[in-house]
Structure 1
């Protein structure tokens, strides 16, 4: 990771952002990538960048 966020902090933030969401679909567009879309429109992206796993949560509503 290029910034100062630890793996534990990143995991905690993703857990908080995704708590209570319902999976609507899962996609595999590339071998090193997975996208999970939730029923509220939010998405969790997980992909390999070199030797690191990157997580990104986008969109949706904050209930």
Structure 2
């Protein structure tokens, strides 16, 4: 559980105060959230739950 809390805290710090430009379904099992500075957050559905990945501008 600590790993999940750590990951959530890291994502919160990384995305804090960013403005969302667009949200769209990137693939059938994936949502893309793109921010004004070009940062992208991908949320994928997996058999175990959700997987998050972030790419920078």
Sort the TM-score into its range (normalised by shorter chain): 0.7 to 0.9
Structure with greater proportional helix content: 2
**Residue of 23, 33, 39 corresponding to 1:42:** 39
How many residues end up aligned between the 2 structures? 56
- The answer for unaligned runs of 5 or more in structure 2 is none
Distance apart, 1:30 and its partner CA? 2.4
Q: Which one scores higher on RCO, CA 8 angstroms, separation ≥ 6?
A: 1
- The answer for unaligned runs of 5 or more in structure 1 is none
The TM-score with structure 1 as length reference comes to 0.78
- CA distance in structure 2 between the partners assigned to 1:50 and 1:41 by the alignment: 29
Structure with greater proportional strand content: 2
